[in-house]
Structure 1
């Protein structure tokens, strides 16, 4: 088959329903790595779906135990066509967040694929099952259309990304030779806008932690003890208010990055802003600078008493799960020590700072002028007819540091989702229109890599 016929077939795979059929099977796996999940479901996704899918394309696959105790399994698949050919590594995660079925709207279920117009609903549709499915199927169309890829391909699938990629870094250190490659080209996260492809070369870091105020055992009558016993909820609220002001601006000096340099500002200058509140975030930053070039604190959950049935009592304790999203230039090892110093300086020594059990993600960026970045940018522009949005880093977090710091490869991410996809919440969905364009873009990119001998020089 010629190039145009291969790309047309890839487009038809998405447009004519075959992609939805494959995705339906993947979504049906309750491959949850959080509290609702089971180890068996994580293994089944790899053994029952990924291994046979890749075996049909000539890949040799192995499923490996996580190097950390109670960690989820991982898969490495390889198709080696020649020792003198370049090697492209790609990545996906088959694990998903808790289904939280009760929060989905009527007519939707987290582990059943429901199609409504352009929307494909189901847990994992956007994050990340459709994304690695698109990339694997793009490789398939090249193999079936030409009889070979024209380069070596390695694929790693993990099952613990939603819990901080638990054990992934140790696994990469053990399997460094098996994962050796010239470049990582993978997909996760959202596009900046629905109608234009996006690429990014890193991600903000993510560090979860708990703030705990534990004053006494048990609750005490709010009438008999009101005004006598300190209220842990009020103390915790004021502690949080010392960390960020009323519009969410960071007040911990060490958490305010110095890496929003002129070149990063220039890269973010002409990006269309995501939906945002006008009175939220740093006052002297643009919306794009706030989300891609700055740090932000989120209070993910707060707990004290029983909000469904409140009692007339002063609680004995209060706890908040918080998360700092941070950019390159923030010292990950000093984030919690800096917070401890800040709370002590503001009179909150009674507020305990606890590390969360989930793994943190480091912040990473890769140079946007790297030859591989420019190669991929030109390929996407040619196949889509649009200049892609090029971001220095994703606003969310990924285990990108495992690729850059351990494997030492350039990292390029091409997301096949969109910002309003509902990932990590109810009604998660992908868009078929993005999936169809993703099939065309990725198939064309793999063809370009083969046609250029895997060298990031100009595309003819």
Structure 2
């Protein structure tokens, strides 16, 4: 029985929100170098908070980029060990003028807490922190061993996570991993993701003249790099919404009609996806439902274009250079390295001879697939059913989390990826929010997950043992 632990957590709701406000107030934007100090301060605050709830070894560990926070609770017995992953870095808050309140001055309005990172991922990370605290405050111990691994670079592709995990694999050895960094199936039903798409982020630079030119003196004579870039980008999709790069679909897995029917069983409808996106008409690859387009079909998105003058009024200029930011979402059997080569060859063959182009890989991650029979996923299913009164929807996700593949290949473990953020939470958008009643239920689910994971291993033999602490 865990009723006493659940009661403790419920009694601390107001304090949990106050603490989460302090966590969100750090402008921990990993993509922007100007926020490096905020990331270090955020990591230090998180480690101190973990020590305060009873994880005495919590510390901050330097990487070549932003730091990683590690903490653990290990016993000398044979309890199973659960690795809890999350990220304290957040997306850029721009456009700032579309926020109703400053993104790093979190505020409660109604039943929601607003601020950048409220749902992605500080709020969802904090769910497990508060579950650990409830167990330790009420019982003085945890029913399992745990390792916390919280990074500050997930939003930029986790470039330093794999080296850190590989270097400390013995100390991080576990029987399963869990994270909450996804959306719910609907407003009252959490999601359990069993597959995610991979990703390839690119920057494409096009250069022309040595410096900006007067468009009256040289317009019609000099090819504008911004025009050349737009022409390249305009040719990346065909009229049916498919990516128009030869060879791009060669390894895309084909699903049988029966598999597609099973895929759509618990999937959101086209109408609900359109409602969540706030659109009246969909776009994309013909012949597939919107959910299929989001999960088992690849996608190419132009995330941003830079070049020329975008200020008030007019300026007659031919810019010397232009840049585009692209992201590919990849599906099972697509290799980011192979896609990079295909895209590079295609762009090289299409760029106008009057300009020069350069493509740079920003980050890459392969698609991920989880084993739904693994004890950690079974335990997560039971825990969500207890807290929410319904089993989580077993879904595929359209996003990418590099940590999943890292834990699978380096630690040899499976991960339960839970979604406790409603689809209107505004992740990656202005006015991001955390639904507080859902947060409370999610803390209860995490409390129950620890108990269910212990029960799942009660008769399964010796658990994995970590080999001591991580050295500074």
Same fold (TM over 0.5): yes
Structure 1 residues 47-100: Cα deviation after superposition (integer angstroms, max 9, x where no partner): 23333434532442232221x3xx111122110123411100001111223344
| Structure 1 position 36, deviation (Å) | 5.6
When residues 13 and 254 of structure 1 are mapped into structure 2, their CA distance, relative to the original with a 3 A threshold, is farther
Structure 1 residues 369-398: Cα deviation after superposition (integer angstroms, max 9, x where no partner): 444423422332243211211124453444
- Residues 162-201 of structure 1 correspond to what in structure 2 (within 5 A)? 162-201=155-194
Task: Give, in whole Å, the separation in 2 of the partners of 1:402 and 1:153.
Answer: 18
Contact in 2 for aligned 1:213/1:317 (Cα 8 Å): yes
| Structure 1 position 361, deviation (Å) | 2.6
Structure 1 residues 284-339: Cα deviation after superposition (integer angstroms, max 9, x where no partner): 11111111112111111112211224323333332211111212211111122101
In the other structure, the counterpart of 2:209 is 216
Question: Please, what is the CA RMSD of the aligned residues?
Answer: 2.5
In the other structure, the counterpart of 1:206 is 199
Which of residues 233, 249, 260 in structure 2 aligns to 1:265?
260
Instruction: Check if 1:408 corresponds to 2:412.
Output: yes
Which of residues 354, 360, 370 in structure 1 aligns to 2:359?
354
Flag structure 1 segments of 5+ consecutive residues without an equivalent. none
| Structure 1 position 167, deviation (Å) | 1.0
Task: Give, in whole Å, the separation in 2 of the partners of 1:267 and 1:138.
Answer: 34
In the other structure, the counterpart of 1:89 is 83
Task: Give, in whole Å, the separation in 2 of the partners of 1:247 and 1:376.
Answer: 40
In the other structure, the counterpart of 2:73 is 79
When residues 306 and 101 of structure 1 are mapped into structure 2, their CA distance, relative to the original with a 3 A threshold, is closer
Contact in 1 for aligned 2:365/2:400 (Cα 8 Å): no
Flag structure 2 segments of 5+ consecutive residues without an equivalent. 462-472
In the other structure, the counterpart of 1:51 is 48
Instruction: Check if 1:142 corresponds to 2:145.
Output: no
Report the secondary structure of 2:19's partner residue. helix
In the other structure, the counterpart of 2:469 is none
Structure 1 residues 391-417: Cα deviation after superposition (integer angstroms, max 9, x where no partner): 244534443221111111111111222
Contact in 2 for aligned 1:101/1:110 (Cα 8 Å): no
In the other structure, the counterpart of 2:12 is 13
Structure 1 residues 98-146: Cα deviation after superposition (integer angstroms, max 9, x where no partner): 344733434x111112111122111211111111111111122223333
Contact in 2 for aligned 1:362/1:399 (Cα 8 Å): no
Moved more, 277-286 or 309-318: 309-318
Report the secondary structure of 2:196's partner residue. coil
Task: Give, in whole Å, the separation in 1 of the partners of 2:82 and 2:379.
Answer: 14
Moved more, 223-232 or 233-242: 223-232
Contact in 1 for aligned 2:36/2:66 (Cα 8 Å): yes
When residues 191 and 456 of structure 1 are mapped into structure 2, their CA distance, relative to the original with a 3 A threshold, is farther
When residues 34 and 259 of structure 1 are mapped into structure 2, their CA distance, relative to the original with a 3 A threshold, is same
In the other structure, the counterpart of 1:280 is 283
Contact in 2 for aligned 1:209/1:322 (Cα 8 Å): yes
Contact in 1 for aligned 2:304/2:324 (Cα 8 Å): yes
| Structure 1 position 345, deviation (Å) | 4.5
- Residues 80-119 of structure 1 correspond to what in structure 2 (within 5 A)? 80-100=74-94, 102-106=96-100, 108-119=101-112
In the other structure, the counterpart of 2:295 is 292
Contact in 2 for aligned 1:200/1:393 (Cα 8 Å): yes
In the other structure, the counterpart of 1:234 is 227
When residues 360 and 49 of structure 1 are mapped into structure 2, their CA distance, relative to the original with a 3 A threshold, is same
- Residues 372-383 of structure 1 correspond to what in structure 2 (within 5 A)? 372-383=376-387
Which of residues 325, 338, 342 in structure 1 aligns to 2:342?
338
Report the secondary structure of 1:283's partner residue. coil
Structure 1 residues 334-355: Cα deviation after superposition (integer angstroms, max 9, x where no partner): 1221012223444656562421
Task: Give, in whole Å, the separation in 2 of the partners of 1:279 and 1:48.
Answer: 43
Report the secondary structure of 1:399's partner residue. helix
Contact in 1 for aligned 2:55/2:71 (Cα 8 Å): no
| Structure 1 position 32, deviation (Å) | 2.6
In the other structure, the counterpart of 1:3 is 2
In the other structure, the counterpart of 2:467 is none
